[in-house]
Amino acid sequence: MDTEALQQSFDEKIDKDIRIEPKDWMPADYRKTLIRQISQHAHSEIVGMLPEANWITRAPTLRRKCILIAKVQDEAGHGLYLYCAAETLNITREEMTEQLLTGKAKYSSIFNYPTLSWADMGAIGWLVDGAAIINQIPLCRTSYGPYARGMVRICKEESFHQRQGFDILLSLCRGSEAQKAMAQDALNRWWWPSLMMFGPRDADSPHTIQSMKWKIKRFTNDELRQKFVDMCAQQVEVLGLQIPDPELKWNEARGHYDFGEIHWDEFWNVVKGNGPCNKERIAARTKAHEDGEWVRRAALAYAQKQKSGIPESQSAKATIKD
């Protein structure tokens, strides 16, 4: 088949909502866009482990500790599903890791903010995971099969993440004054960065139109952001906290909440690497990768030895050069 026919058959599949699968022909830009989006998503899960893992050893009860560990572990799992989905597009995990560590690939800027109190675990669960879910549910129907299947699994597992975050905040808000103040402080710090998670305004989002056409994305940034604000504006009342936006109010005519302008300066600054923790996050990932090098090497060497069937007594380790 010539390229034109292939392109046509691809377009037809997209039109009819037939999933594209790894070995199918796809336009080079479609592949590139997917690799960028999926790997960015995977990196976000992995870097996203760090701010929360930061509080595992300090979780205030054993129950909370177990929940938090399980949650951060899920994120590792989600990163893994996504890396594997990306790998079906002919890029290796090693290449993606390299891109992350060298700053060539991006990850969600939200994880460049620090976790300063226990309440941040609540705010991250409620807001950051809440925003993520809104982003992710439409992706279960994204046009690329492995990505969509990964997202189905991820969404299924994530359903507890937002709840546990809200539950942490609820306990704090029903607790002492100090605890409530802790919760409010966390909300103050995480609210705006959470809104930024949906990305630039539609007008400033260069990839959106093409991605919508390919059905990689199913809703625009602004649509999703609005959905998120509407959801939080209602839930915050149960907590009895204040969303730090004086302009937030219900707009009867629109049927949505109006909200204030995001500080786009801050957004672009964090994207460019000037967030509070950009360097720490990449340093932590780099350290894990470098510290793990000898382990991965040894595991491979051992596997090789087992395969070649050299009796252990003769597998003189001194001769195995790394």
**Mind spelling out the 3-state secondary structure of 216-259?**
CCCCCHHHHHHHHHHHHHHHHHHHCCCCCCCCCEEECCCCEEEC
Among 14, 27, 31, 56, binds other proteins (CB under 8 A): 56
Which among 164-172, 184-192, 217-225, 256-264 is the span making contact with other proteins, rule CB under 8 A?
A: 164-172
Residues 267-296 that bind other proteins (CB under 8 A): 284, 287-288, 291-296
For residues 118 and 182, is the Cβ–Cβ distance under 8 A? Answer: yes
Give whichever of 163 and 305 is closer to other proteins, judged by the CB atom.
305
- In the complex, least distance from residue 84 CB atom to other proteins, rounded to whole angstroms: 4
Give whichever of 25 and 192 is closer to other proteins, judged by the CB atom.
25
- In the complex, least distance from residue 265 CB atom to other proteins, rounded to whole angstroms: 30
Rounded CA separation 208/61 (Å): 43
Instruction: For tokens 């807001």, name the residue.
Output: 127
- In the complex, least distance from residue 236 CB atom to other proteins, rounded to whole angstroms: 20
Among 2, 4, 23, 28, binds other proteins (CB under 8 A): 23
State residue 258 phi and psi, 5-degree precision. -85, 150
Q: Determine the 3-state secondary structure of 26 from DSSP.
A: coil
Among 29, 159, 175, 237, binds other proteins (CB under 8 A): 175
Burial group, residue 280, by CB count within 10 angstroms (0-12, 13-18, 19+): middle
Residues 95-134 that bind other proteins (CB under 8 A): 118
Rounded CA separation 106/100 (Å): 7
Q: Residues with Cβ < 8 Å from 295, sequence gap 6 or more?
A: none
Q: At 6, which helix (H) or strand (E)? A: helix 3-15
Rounded CA separation 122/119 (Å): 5
Residues 142-161 that bind other proteins (CB under 8 A): 149-150, 153, 157
- In the complex, least distance from residue 269 CB atom to other proteins, rounded to whole angstroms: 25
CA Rg value for the chain: 22
Give the count of residues interacting with other proteins (CB under 8 A). 74
Among 57, 308, 309, 311, binds other proteins (CB under 8 A): 57
Give whichever of 176 and 252 is closer to other proteins, judged by the CB atom.
176
| Residue 39 touching other proteins (CB under 8 A) | no
Amino acid type, 210: Q
Among 35, 50, 91, 236, binds other proteins (CB under 8 A): 50
Among 35, 38, 49, 139, binds other proteins (CB under 8 A): 49
| Residue 80 touching other proteins (CB under 8 A) | yes
* Cross-strand pairs, 258: 249
Which among 23-31, 128-136, 199-207, 219-227 is the span making contact with other proteins, rule CB under 8 A?
A: 23-31
Which among 61-69, 188-196, 208-216, 258-266 is the span making contact with other proteins, rule CB under 8 A?
A: 61-69
